[in-house]
Structure 1
Amino acid sequence: MGKSERNITNWKQYNQALVNRGSVTFWLDEAAVNAWHCTKHHGGRGRGFQFSDTAIETALMLKGIFKLSLRATEGFINSLFQLMKIPLIAPDYSCISKRAKRRCCLNKRNLFRFP
Protein backbone atom coordinates (compact mmCIF):
# COMPACT_ATOMS: atom_id res chain seq x y z
CA MET A 1 0.00 0.00 0.00
CA GLY A 2 1.39 3.35 -1.01
CA LYS A 3 1.75 6.51 0.99
CA SER A 4 -1.38 8.58 1.48
CA GLU A 5 -1.63 11.58 -0.82
CA ARG A 6 -3.25 13.76 1.85
CA ASN A 7 -1.50 14.75 5.02
CA ILE A 8 -3.72 15.01 8.07
CA THR A 9 -3.38 18.42 9.63
CA ASN A 10 -6.28 18.45 12.08
CA TRP A 11 -5.83 15.28 14.14
CA LYS A 12 -8.58 16.13 16.63
CA GLN A 13 -11.19 16.38 13.87
CA TYR A 14 -9.82 13.26 12.12
CA ASN A 15 -9.98 11.19 15.31
CA GLN A 16 -13.54 12.34 16.00
CA ALA A 17 -14.57 11.38 12.47
CA LEU A 18 -13.17 7.88 13.02
CA VAL A 19 -15.07 7.60 16.30
CA ASN A 20 -18.29 8.80 14.65
CA ARG A 21 -18.05 6.02 12.06
CA GLY A 22 -19.03 3.55 14.76
CA SER A 23 -22.04 5.55 15.91
CA VAL A 24 -25.40 3.80 15.60
CA THR A 25 -27.38 6.99 16.14
CA PHE A 26 -30.21 7.38 13.68
CA TRP A 27 -33.74 8.64 13.80
CA LEU A 28 -37.02 7.59 12.34
CA ASP A 29 -38.52 10.58 10.59
CA GLU A 30 -41.99 11.83 11.41
CA ALA A 31 -43.45 10.50 8.16
CA ALA A 32 -42.36 6.95 9.02
CA VAL A 33 -43.77 7.25 12.54
CA ASN A 34 -47.10 8.56 11.20
CA ALA A 35 -47.26 5.73 8.65
CA TRP A 36 -46.42 2.99 11.19
CA HIS A 37 -49.97 1.64 11.51
CA CYS A 38 -51.94 0.40 8.53
CA THR A 39 -55.01 2.53 7.78
CA LYS A 40 -56.54 0.62 4.86
CA HIS A 41 -57.79 -2.93 4.56
CA HIS A 42 -55.90 -5.42 2.39
CA GLY A 43 -59.06 -6.23 0.42
CA GLY A 44 -59.35 -9.90 1.32
CA ARG A 45 -61.31 -11.74 3.94
CA GLY A 46 -60.38 -11.51 7.58
CA ARG A 47 -58.86 -8.91 9.80
CA GLY A 48 -56.81 -6.13 8.24
CA PHE A 49 -53.13 -5.56 8.84
CA GLN A 50 -52.14 -3.77 12.03
CA PHE A 51 -48.76 -2.55 10.72
CA SER A 52 -48.11 -0.82 7.41
CA ASP A 53 -45.68 -1.98 4.74
CA THR A 54 -43.39 0.84 5.89
CA ALA A 55 -43.15 -0.72 9.35
CA ILE A 56 -42.38 -4.18 7.95
CA GLU A 57 -39.79 -2.80 5.52
CA THR A 58 -38.15 -0.80 8.33
CA ALA A 59 -37.96 -3.92 10.49
CA LEU A 60 -36.48 -5.97 7.64
CA MET A 61 -33.97 -3.25 6.86
CA LEU A 62 -32.78 -3.09 10.48
CA LYS A 63 -32.66 -6.89 10.59
CA GLY A 64 -30.43 -6.97 7.52
CA ILE A 65 -28.17 -4.09 8.54
CA PHE A 66 -27.45 -5.29 12.07
CA LYS A 67 -27.73 -9.05 11.26
CA LEU A 68 -30.38 -9.62 13.92
CA SER A 69 -32.81 -12.46 14.39
CA LEU A 70 -36.51 -11.62 14.09
CA ARG A 71 -37.01 -11.67 17.86
CA ALA A 72 -33.95 -9.48 18.40
CA THR A 73 -35.25 -7.11 15.72
CA GLU A 74 -38.54 -6.78 17.60
CA GLY A 75 -36.69 -5.95 20.82
CA PHE A 76 -34.34 -3.55 19.03
CA ILE A 77 -37.22 -1.55 17.53
CA ASN A 78 -39.08 -1.46 20.85
CA SER A 79 -35.94 -0.13 22.58
CA LEU A 80 -35.55 2.52 19.85
CA PHE A 81 -39.10 3.68 20.46
CA GLN A 82 -38.44 3.86 24.20
CA LEU A 83 -35.28 5.93 23.67
CA MET A 84 -37.08 8.25 21.26
CA LYS A 85 -40.10 8.46 23.61
CA ILE A 86 -42.50 7.40 20.85
CA PRO A 87 -45.64 5.56 22.03
CA LEU A 88 -45.50 2.83 19.36
CA ILE A 89 -44.76 -0.88 19.45
CA ALA A 90 -42.78 -2.99 17.01
CA PRO A 91 -44.40 -5.64 14.87
CA ASP A 92 -44.27 -9.11 16.42
CA TYR A 93 -41.55 -11.40 15.04
CA SER A 94 -44.16 -13.72 13.53
CA CYS A 95 -45.89 -10.77 11.85
CA ILE A 96 -42.57 -9.64 10.34
CA SER A 97 -41.88 -13.16 9.08
CA LYS A 98 -45.32 -13.65 7.51
CA ARG A 99 -45.44 -10.21 5.91
CA ALA A 100 -41.85 -10.52 4.64
CA LYS A 101 -42.91 -13.54 2.60
CA ARG A 102 -45.71 -11.50 1.01
CA ARG A 103 -43.96 -8.14 0.56
CA CYS A 104 -40.19 -8.42 0.35
CA CYS A 105 -37.54 -11.06 0.05
CA LEU A 106 -34.26 -10.79 1.94
CA ASN A 107 -31.40 -12.08 -0.13
CA LYS A 108 -27.71 -12.40 0.67
CA ARG A 109 -26.76 -10.88 -2.66
CA ASN A 110 -29.18 -7.97 -2.56
CA LEU A 111 -30.84 -6.80 0.62
CA PHE A 112 -34.27 -6.28 -0.91
CA ARG A 113 -35.90 -7.70 -3.97
CA PHE A 114 -39.43 -6.48 -4.60
CA PRO A 115 -41.78 -8.71 -6.58
Structure 2
Amino acid sequence: MKDQITYLPDNADRSVAKQKFKITNWPTYNKALINRGSITFWLDDEAIQAWYESATPSSRGRPQRYSDLAITTVLVIKRVFRLTLRAAQGFIDSIFSLMNVPLRCPDYSCVSRRAKSVNVSFKTPTRGEIAHLVIDSTGLKVFGEGEWKVKKHGQERRRIWRKLHLAVDSKTHEIICADLSLNNVTDSEAFPGLIRQTHRKIRAASADGA
Protein backbone atom coordinates (compact mmCIF):
# COMPACT_ATOMS: atom_id res chain seq x y z
CA MET A 1 0.00 0.00 0.00
CA LYS A 2 1.30 3.45 -0.85
CA ASP A 3 1.14 6.63 1.20
CA GLN A 4 -0.75 9.33 -0.71
CA ILE A 5 -0.27 13.08 -0.42
CA THR A 6 -2.39 15.67 -2.18
CA TYR A 7 -0.72 19.05 -2.52
CA LEU A 8 -2.85 21.91 -1.28
CA PRO A 9 -3.01 25.59 -2.28
CA ASP A 10 -0.64 27.99 -0.54
CA ASN A 11 -3.38 29.36 1.72
CA ALA A 12 -4.69 25.93 2.77
CA ASP A 13 -4.00 24.09 6.01
CA ARG A 14 -0.98 21.85 5.44
CA SER A 15 -0.83 20.26 8.90
CA VAL A 16 -2.39 16.98 7.75
CA ALA A 17 -0.04 16.58 4.80
CA LYS A 18 3.01 17.37 6.90
CA GLN A 19 2.12 14.80 9.54
CA LYS A 20 1.92 11.97 6.99
CA PHE A 21 5.64 12.21 6.26
CA LYS A 22 6.97 13.15 9.66
CA ILE A 23 10.63 12.11 9.94
CA THR A 24 11.29 9.87 12.94
CA ASN A 25 14.77 8.59 12.11
CA TRP A 26 16.74 11.83 11.99
CA PRO A 27 20.27 10.29 12.08
CA THR A 28 19.49 8.15 9.04
CA TYR A 29 17.78 11.02 7.21
CA ASN A 30 20.66 13.39 7.99
CA LYS A 31 23.14 10.80 6.67
CA ALA A 32 21.09 10.54 3.48
CA LEU A 33 21.34 14.30 2.96
CA ILE A 34 25.12 14.10 3.37
CA ASN A 35 25.35 11.18 0.95
CA ARG A 36 23.51 13.26 -1.65
CA GLY A 37 26.85 14.89 -2.37
CA SER A 38 28.61 11.56 -2.94
CA ILE A 39 29.26 10.24 -6.45
CA THR A 40 28.78 6.60 -7.40
CA PHE A 41 29.60 5.23 -10.85
CA TRP A 42 28.66 1.82 -12.17
CA LEU A 43 30.41 0.12 -15.09
CA ASP A 44 29.09 -3.15 -16.44
CA ASP A 45 31.27 -5.77 -18.12
CA GLU A 46 29.86 -5.01 -21.57
CA ALA A 47 30.84 -1.34 -21.32
CA ILE A 48 34.36 -2.26 -20.20
CA GLN A 49 34.78 -4.77 -23.02
CA ALA A 50 33.38 -2.32 -25.61
CA TRP A 51 35.44 0.72 -24.52
CA TYR A 52 38.13 0.16 -27.15
CA GLU A 53 37.35 -0.30 -30.84
CA SER A 54 37.60 -3.87 -32.11
CA ALA A 55 40.11 -4.34 -34.92
CA THR A 56 38.48 -4.95 -38.30
CA PRO A 57 40.98 -6.02 -41.02
CA SER A 58 38.58 -5.08 -43.83
CA SER A 59 38.15 -1.46 -42.68
CA ARG A 60 39.88 1.33 -44.56
CA GLY A 61 41.87 4.24 -43.18
CA ARG A 62 43.52 4.68 -39.83
CA PRO A 63 41.99 2.39 -37.19
CA GLN A 64 40.22 4.05 -34.27
CA ARG A 65 41.39 3.16 -30.79
CA TYR A 66 38.22 4.15 -28.93
CA SER A 67 34.69 2.99 -29.68
CA ASP A 68 31.69 5.25 -30.21
CA LEU A 69 30.55 4.17 -26.75
CA ALA A 70 33.67 5.70 -25.18
CA ILE A 71 33.24 8.98 -27.06
CA THR A 72 29.55 9.16 -26.16
CA THR A 73 30.30 8.48 -22.49
CA VAL A 74 32.79 11.36 -22.32
CA LEU A 75 30.32 13.75 -23.97
CA VAL A 76 27.51 12.75 -21.59
CA ILE A 77 29.69 13.16 -18.48
CA LYS A 78 30.92 16.50 -19.83
CA ARG A 79 27.31 17.66 -20.19
CA VAL A 80 26.04 16.31 -16.87
CA PHE A 81 28.87 17.75 -14.76
CA ARG A 82 29.35 20.87 -16.91
CA LEU A 83 33.02 20.23 -17.60
CA THR A 84 35.38 21.23 -20.36
CA LEU A 85 36.71 18.42 -22.54
CA ARG A 86 40.09 18.59 -20.82
CA ALA A 87 38.49 18.47 -17.37
CA ALA A 88 36.25 15.59 -18.44
CA GLN A 89 39.31 13.63 -19.55
CA GLY A 90 41.01 14.09 -16.18
CA PHE A 91 37.77 13.36 -14.33
CA ILE A 92 37.17 10.05 -16.11
CA ASP A 93 40.80 8.95 -15.82
CA SER A 94 40.61 9.60 -12.07
CA ILE A 95 37.48 7.45 -11.79
CA PHE A 96 39.11 4.59 -13.68
CA SER A 97 42.18 4.86 -11.45
CA LEU A 98 40.13 4.81 -8.23
CA MET A 99 38.11 1.82 -9.45
CA ASN A 100 41.28 0.07 -10.62
CA VAL A 101 39.72 -0.47 -14.05
CA PRO A 102 42.19 -1.04 -16.93
CA LEU A 103 40.79 1.74 -19.13
CA ARG A 104 41.90 5.18 -20.29
CA CYS A 105 39.78 8.14 -21.30
CA PRO A 106 40.09 9.26 -24.92
CA ASP A 107 42.23 12.36 -25.40
CA TYR A 108 40.16 15.56 -25.41
CA SER A 109 41.28 16.34 -28.97
CA CYS A 110 40.06 12.92 -30.11
CA VAL A 111 36.67 13.50 -28.44
CA SER A 112 36.39 16.94 -30.03
CA ARG A 113 37.14 15.53 -33.47
CA ARG A 114 34.74 12.58 -33.24
CA ALA A 115 31.92 14.41 -31.46
CA LYS A 116 30.40 15.25 -34.85
CA SER A 117 30.20 11.60 -35.89
CA VAL A 118 28.40 10.16 -32.84
CA ASN A 119 24.74 10.59 -32.00
CA VAL A 120 24.22 11.83 -28.44
CA SER A 121 20.62 12.57 -27.48
CA PHE A 122 20.15 15.04 -24.64
CA LYS A 123 16.50 15.20 -23.67
CA THR A 124 15.24 18.62 -22.59
CA PRO A 125 13.47 18.40 -19.20
CA THR A 126 9.75 19.17 -19.19
CA ARG A 127 8.32 22.09 -17.26
CA GLY A 128 5.07 23.00 -15.59
CA GLU A 129 2.83 21.27 -13.08
CA ILE A 130 3.17 17.56 -12.35
CA ALA A 131 -0.21 15.89 -11.92
CA HIS A 132 1.08 12.79 -10.12
CA LEU A 133 4.62 12.16 -8.89
CA VAL A 134 5.50 8.54 -8.04
CA ILE A 135 8.49 7.80 -5.83
CA ASP A 136 10.10 4.37 -5.79
CA SER A 137 13.56 2.94 -5.19
CA THR A 138 15.90 0.18 -6.28
CA GLY A 139 19.05 -1.34 -4.81
CA LEU A 140 22.49 -0.82 -6.37
CA LYS A 141 25.59 -2.89 -5.73
CA VAL A 142 28.63 -0.64 -5.31
CA PHE A 143 31.82 -1.63 -7.12
CA GLY A 144 34.65 -0.49 -4.89
CA GLU A 145 38.40 -0.28 -5.40
CA GLY A 146 39.80 -3.49 -6.83
CA GLU A 147 36.38 -4.84 -7.87
CA TRP A 148 37.53 -5.52 -11.43
CA LYS A 149 40.36 -7.72 -10.16
CA VAL A 150 38.05 -9.46 -7.72
CA LYS A 151 35.56 -10.27 -10.47
CA LYS A 152 38.20 -11.36 -12.94
CA HIS A 153 40.04 -13.67 -10.54
CA GLY A 154 36.97 -15.00 -8.73
CA GLN A 155 37.91 -13.87 -5.22
CA GLU A 156 35.31 -13.25 -2.54
CA ARG A 157 34.84 -9.78 -1.13
CA ARG A 158 32.11 -8.08 0.88
CA ARG A 159 29.62 -6.17 -1.28
CA ILE A 160 28.24 -2.72 -0.43
CA TRP A 161 24.69 -1.72 -1.35
CA ARG A 162 23.07 1.68 -1.85
CA LYS A 163 19.47 2.63 -2.55
CA LEU A 164 18.51 4.82 -5.51
CA HIS A 165 15.28 6.77 -4.94
CA LEU A 166 13.54 7.96 -8.13
CA ALA A 167 10.76 10.54 -8.51
CA VAL A 168 8.88 9.82 -11.75
CA ASP A 169 6.08 11.68 -13.52
CA SER A 170 3.41 8.97 -13.85
CA LYS A 171 2.04 10.51 -17.06
CA THR A 172 5.26 11.01 -19.05
CA HIS A 173 7.42 8.41 -17.22
CA GLU A 174 10.13 11.08 -17.02
CA ILE A 175 12.58 10.81 -14.11
CA ILE A 176 12.21 14.23 -12.48
CA CYS A 177 14.91 13.80 -9.85
CA ALA A 178 16.85 11.13 -7.97
CA ASP A 179 18.60 10.62 -4.67
CA LEU A 180 21.17 8.05 -3.56
CA SER A 181 21.09 6.94 0.07
CA LEU A 182 22.17 4.21 2.45
CA ASN A 183 20.36 0.91 2.00
CA ASN A 184 18.25 1.36 5.15
CA VAL A 185 16.68 4.71 4.16
CA THR A 186 13.00 4.32 3.23
CA ASP A 187 11.14 6.12 0.45
CA SER A 188 9.16 7.99 3.10
CA GLU A 189 12.38 9.36 4.61
CA ALA A 190 13.75 10.31 1.18
CA PHE A 191 10.44 11.94 0.18
CA PRO A 192 11.04 15.50 1.51
CA GLY A 193 14.44 15.80 -0.13
CA LEU A 194 13.13 14.59 -3.49
CA ILE A 195 10.21 17.02 -3.41
CA ARG A 196 12.57 19.93 -2.78
CA GLN A 197 14.62 18.97 -5.84
CA THR A 198 11.69 19.19 -8.26
CA HIS A 199 11.24 23.00 -8.06
CA ARG A 200 7.82 22.48 -9.66
CA LYS A 201 4.20 22.50 -8.57
CA ILE A 202 2.97 18.98 -7.78
CA ARG A 203 -0.72 18.15 -7.55
CA ALA A 204 -0.29 14.74 -5.88
CA ALA A 205 2.52 12.38 -4.94
CA SER A 206 2.79 8.82 -3.69
CA ALA A 207 5.60 6.73 -2.26
CA ASP A 208 6.17 3.35 -0.68
CA GLY A 209 6.39 3.38 3.08
CA ALA A 210 9.32 0.94 2.94
TM surpasses 0.5: yes
User: Which residue does 1:27 correspond to in 2?
Assistant: 42
Q: In structure 1, which of residues 37, 40, 45 is the aligned counterpart of residue 52 of structure 2?
A: 37
What displacement does 1:58 show? 0.9
What displacement does 1:83 show? 0.6
Q: In structure 2, which of residues 73, 96, 101 is the aligned counterpart of residue 86 of structure 1?
A: 101
Structure possessing the higher radius of gyration over alpha carbons: 2
Gap runs ≥5 in structure 1? 111-115
What displacement does 1:16 show? 1.4
User: Which residue does 1:97 correspond to in 2?
Assistant: 112
Counterpart amino acid of residue 63 in structure 2:
G
| Bigger strand share | 2
Please give the per-residue CA displacement for 1:56-111, whole angstroms capped at 9, x wherever unaligned: 1111111011100000111111111111112221101011111111113576947x
RMSD: 2.2
Which TM-score applies when normalising by structure 2? 0.47
User: Which residue does 1:55 correspond to in 2?
Assistant: 70
Cα separation, 2, equivalents of 1:102 and 1:26: 26
Change (3 A) 1:31 1:107: closer
| Bigger helix share | 1
Gap runs ≥5 in structure 2? 1-9, 126-210
- For the Cα contact (< 8 Å) 2:72–2:120, is it kept in 1? no
- For the Cα contact (< 8 Å) 2:51–2:67, is it kept in 1? yes
Q: In structure 2, which of residues 2, 13, 25 is the aligned counterpart of residue 10 of structure 1?
A: 25
Which TM-score applies when normalising by structure 1? 0.81
Worse-matched range after superposition: 83-92 or 68-77: 83-92
Change (3 A) 1:107 1:34: closer
Aligned residue pair count: 109
Counterpart amino acid of residue 64 in structure 1:
R
